[in-house]
Amino acid sequence: MIDSIVRFAIQTMGVGRRTLSRRQPGFRRCNARRRFPAWIVILLAASAPQAQDSKPKSSSTPLVNSVPVAPKHLAPLQFDTNAPLHHLNQVISWYRRATTGVSSVGLPSDTIYQDNSKSLGAQVVKLAFQSAKAEAAFVKSQQKVADSSQPGSATTQEQSLAQMQVKISNQIQELESQIAATSSKLSRARPSQRENLKSQQEALQSQLDLQKALLEAVQKMAAFVENNGEITTGLEGAISQVARSIPEVMGPSITPEKPTTASAPAKPAAANSGGLISDAATLYEYMTAVHQIDNAIQQTEYTHAAAEHLRTPIRDALRAAIQQSQKLASQPGNDPQQLQTERETFQEITERFKQLSAILLPLSEELIVLDDAKTNFEEWRGSIGRESRQVLRSVLIRVGGILLALAVILVLSEVWRRVTFRYISDPRRRRHFLVLRRIVIGFLMVVVLLLGFVSEFSSLATFAGFITAGIAVGLQAVLLSVAAYFFIIGRYGIRVGDRISVAGITGDVVDIGLVRLYLMEMAGTGLDFYPTGRLVVFSNSVLFQTGTPLFKQIPGTEYAWHEVVVMIAPAGNHKAAEEKLVAMVNDVYSGYRKEIERQHADIERRVDILIETPRPEARLQFADGGLELLVRYPVEIRRAPDIDEEMTRRVLHLVESDADLKGAVSGTPKIRSAIKG
């Protein structure tokens, strides 16, 4: 007995160490700290004779994990031990996909469906583990029966420790009863007998202390084996390990709290904006959620098929047991031995029915809950499908509206172009109208696209404000030039061919761009201007520069004012000189009077102010050199050199041929421009 106990203790500690070393990497180094000390083995060896000699007379404590009696009349059942584990893995995978694999799209009903999915998923997991544990217990009982039916089958460490624990507990109870009896005798004993009784009581107390220490050591060994040894092997151990992977469902029970309904998540900001981009994003989220729900439904169907496959052999075995009981009940018999056999068979069938029904009922309930989960997913998909159809309809309507608005804008652009070519004959003004058409049409398209794609105008306005401020600072000169362009091409603006003076430079306008102005430089004495062969480029923003004035002709006119200037002698007749000079200038002016009057009539149509008809007029004024007589007359700008040349010849001829005028004029007459440039 001593050798067997020592051997068992060493084997127990050795197997525990090997098991942990194989299962937990890195455990070999710290395993030496958890070894049981050698005194446990000594206690086991020392207590063996006492345990053999002091057998309990009566014990009401049953043996733990007693081996069931082998059935005599029923054949043992063999089930696939991997099927429950495969089913549990599938159920856990399905639970995680069902609870976290479908994202909420922001609908109020999503919270209800998500809560249903979590509660139904937890029920399925619990039922699956309940069935798996019942099947593991059934498989274990079948294995124990098979092992007990074989001669010389060795018990497991757990069973041996349990049996030893029961024996030691019985011995402790026996010793306590003996100590109590000795104490009772000691109170009534004579003085000569008390010494002997005290010695017996002390010996029994020492044995009791030893047995208690031994029981404590055996309990520690049993706890060690249960936590790290055999209990983690086999189907039950695998189920326990799988249960640890899902603590939110199979974790330790806590005090249930009143469930609080989570508030419905608000729709995403994109879904609330109402623009085309937001509607398209919302529609994409809905379609993604529908695809996720379809995957969850497929996973549910696969899990349902796995549970049905696991239930089929168990249901067949249960039906076979029921049919066997019915067949046995239909066979009458009067033989006492036959009746005894039938009674034992019925007991075995009843026990097997209880074990199989404990496996089958959770599986059947699991199938029902899986059907409910599938129905929940289908209703969830239908809810999102209805919302997605509405969003799709809104997207199509908005796209149709955008296309219709763009079509109307393009039609308006084409009408504008045709009207411009039909009713505006001036190429320069026509080009200006076409440029304006492009700007207006582009602006309208941008507005339509913004209204169609974006509806969050608060954020858009903030973003546009920052963008506008940055552009205004970085492109200030360009923006001023673009703004000045619209002033230049206005009603009284500059046209190609106009002669203007800007920044001290006189020239004819060659081209007017969106940001630049091109001039052909003119040079001369003020009367006779000629091209220098150079182009002068100004930014349109020169119009807003106060230190750089810009001079141009009145719109529709091409004439300027020149003057014939003579100095009157101190004794000269200025009245006679004035009459003769004015008559001579009028004679020259009569040659192009009609053109000047036509331009004047054009001015009256363009402007709303009163302008006198241009005609030659004389002025008499004091100058530094004496009395000065000047006759101002209009000239055509393009013919100014020719007109001034003719005017010069006529003045010289008049002064030389008329003696009175020659006596009244001193010095050489001059022709000059009334306004420089």
DSSP per-residue letters across 391-446: HHHHHHHHHHHHHHHHHHHHHHHHHHHHHHHHH---HHHHHHHHHHHHHHHHHHHH
Return all residues near 8 (Cβ < 8 A) that are at least 6 apart. 44, 157, 160
What is the arithmetic mean of pLDDT over 290-295?
A: 89
**Type of residue found at 71:** P
Of 134-143, 275-284, 385-394, 483-492, where does the model show the most confidence?
Answer: 385-394
pLDDT mean over 23-35: 35
Based on the domain organization, do 641 and 506 belong to the same domain? no
* 466 pLDDT higher than 80: no
Examine the domain organization and report whether 436 and 503 are in the same domain: no
Q: Is the domain of 192 the same as that of 208?
A: yes
What CATH number does residue 603 fall under? 3.30.70.100
Instruction: Specify whether 509 is located in the same domain as 599.
Output: no
Residue with tokens 């970085």, as numbered in its chain: 474
Does the residue 56 lie in any domain?
yes
Is 4 inside any structural domain? no
Dihedral angle over CA of 406, 407, 409, 415, nearest 10: 160
Q: Are residues 61 and 209 in the same domain?
A: yes
What distance in Å separates the CA atoms of residue 101 and residue 595, rounded to the nearest whole number?
A: 89
Q: Are residues 382 and 499 in the same domain?
A: no
Kindly list the distances between the CA atom of residue 35 and the CA atoms of 15, 29, 246, 304, 473, in Å, as whole numbers in the listed order. 11, 12, 31, 47, 81
Collapse the DSSP code of 518 into the 3-class scheme (helix H, G, I; strand E, B; otherwise coil) and give the result.
strand
Asked if 67 and 146 touch (Cβ cutoff 8 Å), the reply is no
Q: What is the mean pLDDT of residues 147-175?
A: 72
Cβ atoms of 509 and 517 closer than 8 Å? yes
Backbone angles phi, psi at 365, to 5 degrees: -65, -35
Mean pLDDT of 299-328: 85
Q: How confident is the model at residue 409 (pLDDT cuts 50, 70, 90)?
A: very high
What's the pLDDT score for residue 105? Answer: 80
Percent of the chain with pLDDT strictly greater than 70: 77
Domain end, chosen from 456, 491, 513, is at 456
pLDDT at residue 524 in the model? 75
Note the pLDDT of residue 40.
39
pLDDT at 631 over 50: yes
In whole angstroms, give the CA distance from residue 248 to residue 262.
Answer: 18
Indicate the range of 30-44, 620-634, 637-651 predicted with least confidence.
30-44
Q: Indicate whether 290 and 430 sit together in one domain.
A: yes
Averaged pLDDT, 276-287: 84
Within a domain: residue 30? no
Which tokens is 320 given? 């076979």
In this structure, the number of other CB atoms found within 10 A of the CB of residue 584 comes to: 21
pLDDT at residue 59 is higher than 80: no
Residue 322 covered by a domain? yes
How many CB atoms neighbour CB 647 within 10 A?
Answer: 21
Shared domain check, 194 and 57: yes
Angle of helix 109-149 relative to helix 336-423, nearest 10 degrees?
Answer: 150
1 is a domain residue: no
Which pTM does this prediction carry?
0.50
Confidence of residue 234 (pLDDT cuts 50, 70, 90): low
Task: Assign 233 a pLDDT band (cuts: 50, 70, 90).
Answer: low
pLDDT tier for residue 661 given thresholds of 50, 70 and 90: confident
Mean pLDDT of 629-636: 89
Poorest-pLDDT segment among 141-145, 212-216, 219-223: 141-145
For residues 535 and 514, membership in a common domain is answered with: yes
Q: Is the pLDDT of residue 350 over 80?
A: yes
The last residue of one of the domains, among 194, 224, 250, is 250
User: What pLDDT is attached to residue 412?
Assistant: 93
17 domain-assigned = no
Q: Which of 615, 619, 635 is nearest to 577 (CA)?
A: 619
Taking 70 as the threshold, does the pLDDT of residue 147 lie above it? no
Q: How many residues are present in the chain? A: 677
pLDDT recorded at residue 71: 54
Q: For the segment 422-459, what is each residue's pLDDT rounded down to a tens digit?
A: 888 878 778 878 888 898 899 888 888 877 776 655 55
Quote the CA–CA distance of 114 and 557 in Å, as a whole number: 83
Q: Give yes or no for residue 4 having a pLDDT over 60.
A: no
The reported pLDDT for the residue numbered 611 is 76
Has residue 513 been placed in a domain? yes
Domain that holds residue 450: 266-456
Q: Are both 234 and 325 inside the same structural domain?
A: no
In sign, the C-alpha dihedral spanning 239, 244, 249, 255 is: positive
Q: What is the pLDDT of residue 619?
A: 87
* 13: number of Cβ within 10 Å: 19
Asked if pLDDT for residue 148 goes beyond 50, the answer is yes
Q: Are 238 and 277 members of one domain?
A: no
- How far is Cα 263 from Cα 261, in angstroms, rounded to an integer? 6
Q: Which of 504, 530, 552 is the last residue of a domain?
A: 552
- Three-class SS string for 175-225? HHHHHHHHHHHHHHCCHHHHHHHHHHHHHHHHHHHHHHHHHHHHHHHHHHH
Between CA 435 and CA 432 the distance in angstroms is 5
Which CATH number is 518's domain given? 2.30.30
Tell me how many domains the chain contains.
4
Q: Who has greater pLDDT, 642 or 44?
A: 642
Q: pLDDT-derived band of residue 2, with 50, 70 and 90 as boundaries?
A: very low
Has residue 278 got a pLDDT over 60? yes
Band of residue 411 on the pLDDT scale cut at 50, 70, 90: very high
278 and 169 in a common domain: no
Q: What is the mean pLDDT of the chain?
A: 76
In a domain, residue 9? The reply is no
